[in-house]
Amino acid sequence: MSKQEQLIEFTIQDIIHYLATDLHIEYDDAMNIFYNSETFDKLQDTETGLYLESSAYVYGLLQDERNFGHLIQTEI
């Protein structure tokens, strides 16, 4: 596993934990929410560089996406 893949995996784990904790839902439900998000797609795309950002930053993007229905971060 490359360093990029490791960083992505660690971020995914953190985001799923944040979702499960904040929304008081099961991890399976949190995984479903995140894996079906535009934020997840952008995180997987190493060209965006999103994997280099903190898990908290990526979670903030996900929260914005959930609140507004789409990503509002123009840099990615």
Residue 53 lies in a domain: yes
Domain tally for the chain? 1
Residue 75 lies in a domain: no
Query: What pLDDT sits at residue 74?
Result: 54
3-state secondary structure of 50: helix
- Is 27 within 8 Å of 63 (Cβ atoms)? no
- Is 42 within 8 Å of 48 (Cβ atoms)? yes
Residue 26 lies in a domain: yes
Residue 73 lies in a domain: no
Predicted structure pTM score? 0.90
* CB-facing half-sphere around the CA of 55: CA atoms within 13 A: 15
Residue 47 lies in a domain: yes
Domain containing 37 equals 3-68
Residue 74 lies in a domain: no
pLDDT in tens, 24-73: 999 999 999 999 999 999 999 999 999 999 999 999 999 999 998 887 75
